Every structure is written in C-alpha cells, then in structure tokens.
Amino acid sequence: MSEQPTAWIFDIQGHAVHDGPGCRTLVFLSGCSLRCRWCANPEGQLMRPRLMVAANRCADHCTRCLKACPQGAIRLDPLGTPGKRLRFDRSLCDRCDDFPCVTACYHQALSICGRQIRLDDLMRILQRDRSFWGPEGGVTFTGGEPLVQADFLIAALRECHRSWMHTAVETCAQVPTADLLSALDSLDWLLVDLKQMDPARHRQGTGVDNRLILDNLRAVASSGWSGRLVIRLPLIPGYNDDPVNLAATLRFLEEIGAGELEILPLHRLGQSKYEQLGMADPYVDQSPPSQERVEEIRCFFAAGGIACHCGGDRPW
C-alpha cells in the first residue's frame, strides 16, 4: 500500500442531513475552481492549510505567536481593541507550512484548517460512521470543489461503492468534463449548483463564466447515468433571484430534462470564518431572502413542472 491516494480536506462532518438522502457523513475536500462572493466555506478554497484566528480567544497579555513567527508576518497594532491587537500578513501566512505561531498559541486562538488525509484513513472513518447512517444514508463529498482533486475523489468513490456505501457528490461543475463523467461510474447522487444563467453575471459572481458548467450539466443529463441528479439554486438576493434569471434557469432545466431543483437560500453561517481567515466578507450586510420570496420562487418552478423544494420540505 505504498501508493495510497492522499487528499487535502478541511473537515469531516458526521450526521449531516441536508446534502443527500438519509443521515450522512460529509467529506469536505479542499480547493475550488470558483470564487463565489457568497461562499460559505471560504476556508476550503485553497488546497493547503489555512491559518484561522479566533480573535475572541486571543489573550491580551500574550504575544507568543508574534515571537514565534520567523517571517515576521504578525505585528502588534497598538491601537487594536482587545483580542484584535494582532495583525496578520496573510500573504505570508498563506505560504507558511509549519505554522510555529499555532504551536506557540496557548489559548486555542490560532488553529490550522486543512490537512492531508490518506484514502485508507478516510475509509476507516467512513466504515465507523456507516453504522450510524441508517439504510438511506451514505457519504457526500463536498468542498470546496471535490473534483479539483479528481484522482482522489474517483478512487474514493470507487472504494465506497465497493463497500456498498451510498455515494453523493456536491459540485459546482466547473471541472473537466471527463473527470465529472468518470466520477459518475461510482456515484448514486449528484448535486450540482446552478448559480446564474447569464455568462457575464456568472463571471461577476464567481470569477468565471458558466459555459463549462452548462455543458457539463448537458453531458451528465445525456450520459445515460442512472443516478439521481439534483440541481441546486443558491438563492442570492440581488444576484440571481430576478425574473430573467429564474426564467432562463427554468428553460435550461427543461432543455436538459432535469426534473428537480432545490433552492438553497443564502445563509450567513460562514461569516465568522471570513473573520478568522482575515478575509473580507462581501455579503456581510446581505440578509437572507425572505421566506415569502423563497416560496414565490419555489412556486414559479413548480408551475413550470419542476419538483422544487427548499429546506425542511426536501423529499429526502
């Protein structure tokens, strides 16, 4: 077993109930091909360890991390408020490998997010968790974008299927078509985000246009794959909830023959992670869409013949 596939991950969560049928374990693979402005998992965008700073835990009297950093990436801001006196030069931190500052911290204020895991270690965890899943549950690979590490993902899916596990992948579909199609071989469910139908608007929100994504969806839909395809619409107020985009989305679903759409209203649960990463959160002031608005949109798709659901209504 010298050639164990290895991947960068930033979390494994047991008892996830939203991303696929039954009770599931979520494997968060690092690295992403998009940069969505509303990203809820910004710590998973890069395929490397990220320094997280929990300012509320930082002790005012302590400067151990500052002294430990050989790069001088941490400096003291004499004007900083309690817990926020330290400033981190993230461009340096994002090139660091051993994070002596984290080792030096006595207050669990600094931590590393992101680590490498071998496939056999991952399988050990999944084999443990599966006894809690129940008959409908399984594993969902998400991220980041899990197909950024396509070799590992495909090997992992194959291994899971060999062990009779139910598999799902949550993808943005901004990935090489060949990778996506070969993942289907060992896949039961595919959850794909469809964020914006207009290429320019798509680029505005995510950094790339949507041509590859739409092509990939067409490819999956016509591939003869027997699994379940669930298209998901992350509902971002002011970005993709306008009638034009909604109508275009409906037309596209009809075009590829997709029968199901899940609405994922914008949520702000990732907010503290932006702070911990020292990143600006572009959606800091954006409130989630109202329940009424979500219901209107759901009805719009339902009227178009799409099985559309949201939150607690989801049929799995």
Partner 1 sequence: MDVLRSESTASDDRSTTPAVELAETRRRPGPRAKRLLDLYLAAYSSATNEFPYWYTRRYMQLDGEIPVVRRATALKEAFSHLTPTIYPGELIAMGKAHYYRGSFPMPWLSEAYYMAKEDELYQAALAKGATSADQVSRFGSGGGNVTASFGKVVSIAGKFGIRQEEVPALLAVARSWRGKSVDDLGHRYEQMVPGYPRKEEIMRSIVCMFDSGFTLPQGREVINYYYPLQHGFDGLLALLDERRAEVAGRADGDGLVGMNRLYFYQAARLVLEGIQAWITNYAGEARRLETREADPVLRQEYGELAECLEWIAHHPPRTFRQAMQLCWTAHVAVLNEDCISGLSPGRLGQVLYPYYRQDIQAGELTDPEALELLEVLRVKFTCLDCFASMGVVGGVLSGNTFNNLSLGGLTPDGQPASNELEELILEAGIRCASPQPTLSVLYDEKLPEQFLLKATECTKLAGTGYPAWVSNQTAMNFLLDQFGREGMTPREVRAWAIGGCLETSPCSWMELRLADRSYPIPGGSGQPTSVGVHFVSLPKILELVLFDGLDRRTGRRVFEPHGQPLESFEQLFECLQRYFSQAVEVLTRTNNIQHDIWRKNNMAVFHSLLKPDCLDRGHHIGELGYRYNGTFNIETCGTINLVNSLAALHTRLYRERAFDLEALQEAILHNFGYRPADQLGSYSLADQQKAEGGERFDRIHHLCLTAPKYGNDDPQADTMLARWEDWFCAMCRTYESLYGKPLYPCQISVSTHGPMGAATLATPDGRLAGTTFADASMSAYPGTDRNGPYALFTSATCWDHSRSQNSQLNLKLHPSVVQGRTGTRKLLELTRNYLRRGAFHIQYNIISSQTLRDAQQHPENYRGLMVRVAGFTQYWVELGKPIQDEVIARTEYEGV
Interacting residues with partner 1 (CB under 8 A): 12-18, 21-23, 25, 40, 59, 61-62, 105-108, 128-129, 131-134, 136-137, 221, 226, 228-229, 256-260, 267, 269, 307, 311-316
Task: Report in angstroms how near the CB of residue 230 gets to partner 1 at its nearest.
Answer: 9
Residue closer to partner 1 by CB (options 90, 228) is 228
Task: Report in angstroms how near the CB of residue 231 gets to partner 1 at its nearest.
Answer: 10
Residue closer to partner 1 by CB (options 26, 150) is 26
Helix H or strand E segment including 66:
helix 64-68
Closest CA relative to residue 257, chosen from 305, 233, 308, 221: 221
Residue closer to partner 1 by CB (options 209, 260) is 260
| Ramachandran angles phi, psi of 80, nearest 5° | -65, 150
CA distance 29 to 274: 18
Secondary structure of residue 247 in the 3-state scheme: helix
Residue closer to partner 1 by CB (options 64, 90) is 64
Helical segments of 176-269, H only? 177-184, 199-206, 211-221, 243-256
Question: Residue type at 138?
Answer: G
DSSP string, 127-191: HHHHHHH-TT-EEEEEES-GGGGHHHHHHHHHHHHHTT--EEEEE---S-HHHHHHHHTT-SEEE
Adjacency order of strands within the sheet including 307-310: 115-118, 6-16, 24-29, 138-143, 167-171, 189-193, 228-235, 260-265, 307-310
Helix H or strand E segment including 234:
strand 228-235
Task: Report in angstroms how near the CB of residue 171 gets to partner 1 at its nearest.
Answer: 17
| Integer CA distances (angstroms), 113 to 102, 240, 273, 310, in order | 11, 31, 11, 30
Structure tokens given for 154? 């495909």
Task: Report in angstroms how near the CB of residue 23 gets to partner 1 at its nearest.
Answer: 5
Task: Report in angstroms how near the CB of residue 252 gets to partner 1 at its nearest.
Answer: 12
Task: Report in angstroms how near the CB of residue 140 gets to partner 1 at its nearest.
Answer: 12
Task: Report in angstroms how near the CB of residue 151 gets to partner 1 at its nearest.
Answer: 26
Residue closer to partner 1 by CB (options 23, 92) is 23
Structure tokens given for 120? 């056999």
Residue closer to partner 1 by CB (options 95, 267) is 267
Task: Say which residue the tokens 């790069």 belong to.
Answer: 71
Task: Report in angstroms how near the CB of residue 14 gets to partner 1 at its nearest.
Answer: 3
Secondary structure of residue 229 in the 3-state scheme: strand
Residue closer to partner 1 by CB (options 202, 309) is 309
Residue closer to partner 1 by CB (options 60, 242) is 60
